[in-house]
Amino acid sequence: MPPLAAWFDLRDLGHYARSLLGWLSDDLGAPDWVTYVVSGVIGIVAILLWLLVSQLAFIWIERRIIARMQARIGPNRVGPRGLLQPIADALKLLLKEAITVRLADRPLFWLGPVLIFVPAMVVFAVIPFGKGMALADLNVGVLFVIAIGSTNTVAVFIAGWSSNNKFALLGAMRTVAMLISYELIQVLALLGVVVFSGSMRLGSVVEWQSHYNAWLLFLQPLALASFIIASAVEINRSPMDISEAESEIVAGYHTEYSGIKFGFFYTAEYFAGFAISAVTVTLFLGGWTAWGLEEWVPGWLLFLSKLYLVFFLFIWTRGTLPRLRIDQLMAFAWKFMLPLALLNVVIAGGEVLAWREGDISANVALPIFGAANAVLAAALIVGWGTFTGHLRPERRAKQAVLTQELGAVYYVPAGRHGVQPERPLREA
Amino acid sequence: MDDAGSVIAFWLLAALTVGAALGVIAVRDLVRALVLLITSFLGVAGLYITLSADFVAVAQVLIYAGAISILLIFAIMLTPRASRDNAETFLQIPGLLLAGLVAFTIGFISLQTDWSIAERGGFDETASAIGEALLSRYVLPFEMASVLLLVAMLGAIVLVRPEGTPEE
Amino acid sequence: MSVGLEHYLVVGALLFGIGLYLALAKRNFVGVLMGVELMFNAVNLTFVAFSRFVESDEPLSGHVFVVFVITVAAAEAAVALALAMLVYRNRETIDMDRINLLKW
């Protein structure tokens, strides 16, 4: 039946590309490299178009959702219900004067906005959008994602340095310090994933999750939480947008950029958000599979819906949580998250070892691991958080700078204003 | 390796790498030299990929372009009163002669030697084999490398600790 | 026109020469360190090229060596830069021509 056959073809968008390539190579007799280049170009153009359309849509969606969460309306003037707001934003950025500071380092100043796109877009090359729909399913896909993300720091530094502006440089250095701290946590979180799936290829991770009918979200909750938080910091997203928020250090590393150059930074933040969501969905949420639903619904449709759901999670945290300070962020990374991520790797390794050596069947082992990991994650977060003082602020040790005789500052426990603490305060 | 793609890729990447390295010498600003150095690192990573060394290529990008470059950036930032004009010392001519001599010697010997070229072609996947080798045959250097990293980290922290910190 | 082992070895030799010149002739300490890192890269490239082209019982030992060289290079860069910070703190400069207290 023609309609059903067309539906089955729609599930696998690669089919159209393959028929085009087949026509090129068989009917026209083109050499191999033409087919290769054309397939690459098709993939790149498709990913770029999808990214741009999604980004335009999400400018409006994000501003409306955050507005609703903050009990306001959001953009509703430009076009019906404000739907043309992204177009208006894009036009504004295009038409604004793109000032180049006179003493700025010209080539580097121009290079900053260009380089900031590279990590966000290149990551999409390894992500499987559906069955057989990865542009380049590398054997070291997971490490590739991290490596390309680490070039973000270079781009940020170039943008900050070339502005010839002390505040931009300060913002850039703070951002770089933040980024390198959280890179470590990203790698350790993804190591837990690789230990379970046994391969660094993103397609293999999706197949593993489909084969064992177990999303890695259930088996590695601590890794998922670490990865999402670390990645949110990596893309400078609220509540960790200390580097680029307007009330902090002017606007950080992109202070001096105006017009379309700022538009590049703005767009690259959305692309990076999509990239992080795509990696999370692929590694932890089953990618384009959903327990057999991909027989009926196209895999790429499932993938995109999950991606938008994870991105909605980022929007939600942006609208809800207040911004973290830089010293809070760094303390959080090194004292709280790094030990947890290390413990997660050790625990994951132990579990996989027990599973393989003990020859336990997957139906028995995986639920046990899932339950044990969930309990351990909760216990570790609460326990380690209390120990380092991130939870339960009333139990945190106080620091008195000046003593009582000099009539100075106490740290009062939350909710107990004006009550003297019973224990003597620790002297400086 | 004689298919057109590999040859073109090699020549482009080799030109990028060596050109960027020459740029590091020639450019008159230290930060631009650093950016060209990062480009050279990325070129070397590309050359690794043409040699079908996928794990090493990604490790090169992650560590060299992503971490060691940041170390160099911090070194430049934290020494504001040092001159950043990428000048040469008085040893310019002897350095040039010696470097040229060394490069020529290495190149000449490598062109003259008859290497026993294998017929096997590229590798399929190196990461798992490297991992197994690291934990079976090379486990002692692996452990020593981790101790070395720990020592280097501690040493760097101790060296740059601000003066007047109480040594408790 | 094919690409063989010699091509990679020549590229490695060129990079090594450039790195050696940087290490010998640059006035800023960071310039010297850039030369040292280039030399490490040249050596790594040579190792990987040998591992790919030359017959061996263990073809991947070149890659393992490269992993170790990258590790040691990272550690060495960290310590070298800590030393640079210390020298800067004491002498307000990292100019290689001026750091010559131990000269005869």
Whose CA is closest to C16, among A32, B110, A428? B110
Regarding whether B131 and B88 lie in a shared domain, the answer is no
Regarding whether B81 and B29 lie in a shared domain, the answer is yes
Instruction: Tell me if C100 is assigned to some domain.
Output: no
A418: pLDDT confidence band, cut at 50, 70 and 90? very low
Asked if pLDDT for residue A216 goes beyond 60, the answer is yes
Whose CA is closest to A115, among B26, C16, B42? B42
Asked whether the beta carbons of A357 and A363 are under 8 A apart, the reply is: no
Euclidean distance between CA atoms A9 and A12, whole angstroms? 5
Q: Between these two residues, A293 and A398, which has the higher pLDDT value?
A: A293
Residues of chain A with Cβ-Cβ distance to B2 below 8 Å are none
CB contact under 8 A, B54 and A138: yes
Asked whether the beta carbons of A381 and A340 are under 8 A apart, the reply is: yes
Euclidean distance between CA atoms B27 and B29, whole angstroms? 6
What does the H/E/C string look like for A321-353? CCCCCHHHHHHHHHHHHHHHHHHHHHHHHHHHH
**CATH code for the domain in which residue C31 is found:** 1.10.287.3510
A398: pLDDT confidence band, cut at 50, 70 and 90? low
pLDDT in tens, A4-28: 555 556 666 667 777 777 777 777 7
User: Which range, A159-168, A418-427, B156-165, has the best average confidence (pLDDT)?
Assistant: A159-168
CB contact under 8 A, B65 and A111: no
Q: Between these two residues, B160 and B100, which has the higher pLDDT value?
A: B100
Q: How confident is the model at residue C98, as a pLDDT?
A: 83
Low-confidence winner among A29-33, B73-77, C8-12 (lowest mean pLDDT): A29-33
Tally of CB atoms within 10 A around B136: 9
Q: How confident is the model at residue B79, as a pLDDT?
A: 86
Give A358→chain B minimum CA distance, Å. Answer: 21
Euclidean distance between CA atoms A4 and A25, whole angstroms? 28
Q: How confident is the model at residue B32, as a pLDDT?
A: 92
What percent of chain A shows pLDDT beyond 70? Answer: 85
Q: What does the DSSP assignment read for A115-151?
A: HHHHHHHHGGGS---STT--S---TTHHHHHHHHHHH
Whose CA is closest to A380, among A230, A228, A220, A234? A220
Q: Between these two residues, A251 and B22, which has the higher pLDDT value?
A: B22
Asked whether the beta carbons of B24 and B37 are under 8 A apart, the reply is: yes
Instruction: Count the domains in chain B.
Output: 2
Residue ranges of the domains in chain A? Answer: 96-389, 392-428
Tell me the residues of chain A between 189 and 208 that have a Cβ less than 8 Å away from chain B.
Answer: 199-200
A251: pLDDT confidence band, cut at 50, 70 and 90? low
Instruction: Tell me if B31 is assigned to some domain.
Output: yes
Residue A351 structure tokens: 């579990």
Instruction: Tell me if B117 is assigned to some domain.
Output: no
Instruction: Count the domains in chain C.
Output: 1
Q: How confident is the model at residue A395, as a pLDDT?
A: 58
Give B167→chain C minimum CA distance, Å. Answer: 18
What's the whole-number mean pLDDT along residues A329-351? 92
CB contact under 8 A, B66 and A33: no
ipTM here:
0.93
Regarding whether B88 and B6 lie in a shared domain, the answer is yes
pLDDT in tens, A276-324: 999 999 999 988 888 877 777 888 889 999 999 999 999 999 888 888 8
What percent of chain B shows pLDDT beyond 70? Answer: 96
Count interface pairs A-B at CB distance under 8 A: 65
Instruction: Tell me if C97 is assigned to some domain.
Output: no
Q: How confident is the model at residue A401, as a pLDDT?
A: 44
Instruction: Tell me if B9 is assigned to some domain.
Output: yes
Tally of CB atoms within 10 A around A407: 7
Whose CA is closest to C81, among C37, C44, C33? C33
Query: Residue with structure tokens 């260009």?
Result: A114
What residues contact B164, with CB distance under 8 A and at least 6 apart? none
B64: helix, strand or coil:
helix
For residue C72, give its domain range.
5-91
Regarding whether B78 and B19 lie in a shared domain, the answer is yes
Amino acid in the structure at residue B168:
E
Any CB–CB contact under 8 A between A108 and chain B? Answer: yes
For residue B27, give its domain range.
1-93
Euclidean distance between CA atoms C27 and B87, whole angstroms? 6
CB contact under 8 A, B65 and A154: yes
B117: helix, strand or coil:
strand
Q: How confident is the model at residue A415, as a pLDDT?
A: 44
Tally of CB atoms within 10 A around A281: 26
Mutate to test the interface with C, among B3, B64, B120, B163 (most CBs of C within 10 A): B64
Asked if pLDDT for residue A413 goes beyond 50, the answer is no
Instruction: Tell me if B7 is assigned to some domain.
Output: yes
Regarding whether B10 and B73 lie in a shared domain, the answer is yes
What percent of chain C shows pLDDT beyond 70? Answer: 98
Q: What is the DSSP secondary structure assignment for residue B80, as one 8-state letter?
A: T
| pTM of the shown model | 0.89
